[in-house]
Amino acid sequence: MIKLFDEIPEMKNERVLLRPIERKDLPALSEMTGDPEVYRFLPTFLYEQKYDDKNLMLDRMEEECIRTKDTILLAVCPADEQDTFMGIAEIYNYEPQKEKASIGYRLCREFWGRGIASEVTGLLKKYLLERTDVRKITAHVMVENKASAKVLLKNGFFPKWQNLSEDWGRPENVTVDKYRFKLSPEEKAETLRFGLQHRQITL
């Protein structure tokens, strides 16, 4: 077991690869960040939106995201086409004393509706629970974002807190449901030994 942020992870299954963002991804990343439909149900202060110059964003990511243990951003790619940028997977809000972290994603519009979001969520969940010190994972979803809610339910998350008012950098607060996947300390120990299996979830 490692502590989150001790490494920049890479994750892969049969369909999807999550890897560090590279220079070759920046044109597609710029196109994605320029599409308001992608960010319709997302906060306005995501890191990839901080700099118009994406080269500058990438140059500063290590110092501003990793060293501060603030955010891990990974490129989402097809498992068999590692140069094709499909979007971003994110791990953030790490609280080691609570063994907790949050996850999120955003995909280029052309890759919507293919089950990729569910694959990304599953990979993040597996990595956090099998590899790191995290045993509680949360995800914040605007109530209007029914597609992301379905993705989380499919991956074993439950809506633990509902109709929360949160500041997402918009003129007014947004209404959010907060989903959680949690292992008990005993389940976490078993997961570290044998891997993540279907089990009774601690609510």
Q: Is residue 2 a part of any domain in this protein?
A: no
- Give pLDDT tens digits for 101-110: 999 999 999 9
Give the SS3 label for residue 22.
coil
Contact (Cβ atoms closer than 8 angstroms) between residue 49 and residue 29: no
Contact (Cβ atoms closer than 8 angstroms) between residue 202 and residue 160: no
Half-sphere exposure of 56 (CA within 13 A, CB side): 5
Q: How many domains does the chain have?
A: 1
Q: Could you tell me the residue range of the domain that residue 47 belongs to?
A: 11-194
Task: Write down the pLDDT at residue 1.
Answer: 87
Residues 6+ apart with CB under 8 A from 166: 140, 173, 174, 176
State yes or no: pLDDT of 91 exceeds 90. Answer: yes
State yes or no: pLDDT of 75 exceeds 90. Answer: yes
Q: Is residue 202 a part of any domain in this protein?
A: no
Task: Write down the pLDDT at residue 200.
Answer: 46
Q: Which residue has the tokens 């560090």?
A: 20
User: Model's pTM, two decimal places?
Assistant: 0.92
Task: Write down the pLDDT at residue 198.
Answer: 46
CATH number, domain of 71, equals 3.40.630.30
Percent of the chain residues past pLDDT 90, beyond the cut: 91
State yes or no: pLDDT of 87 exceeds 50. Answer: yes
Give the SS3 label for residue 153.
helix
Percent of the chain residues past pLDDT 70, beyond the cut: 97
Q: Is residue 1 a part of any domain in this protein?
A: no
CA pair distance 185, 182, nearest whole angstrom:
9
CA pair distance 166, 43, nearest whole angstrom:
10
State yes or no: pLDDT of 119 exceeds 50. Answer: yes
Q: Which residue has the tokens 């519009």?
A: 109
- Give pLDDT tens digits for 154-201: 999 999 999 999 999 999 999 999 999 999 899 889 998 888 764 444
Residues 6+ apart with CB under 8 A from 20: 8, 10, 74, 75
Q: Is residue 29 a part of any domain in this protein?
A: yes
Task: Write down the pLDDT at residue 39.
Answer: 96
Task: Write down the pLDDT at residue 182.
Answer: 94
Q: What mean pLDDT is predicted for residues 132-147?
A: 97
Task: Write down the pLDDT at residue 197.
Answer: 62
User: CA geometry: angle at 2 spanning 196 and 83, to 5°?
Assistant: 75
State yes or no: pLDDT of 202 exceeds 70. Answer: no
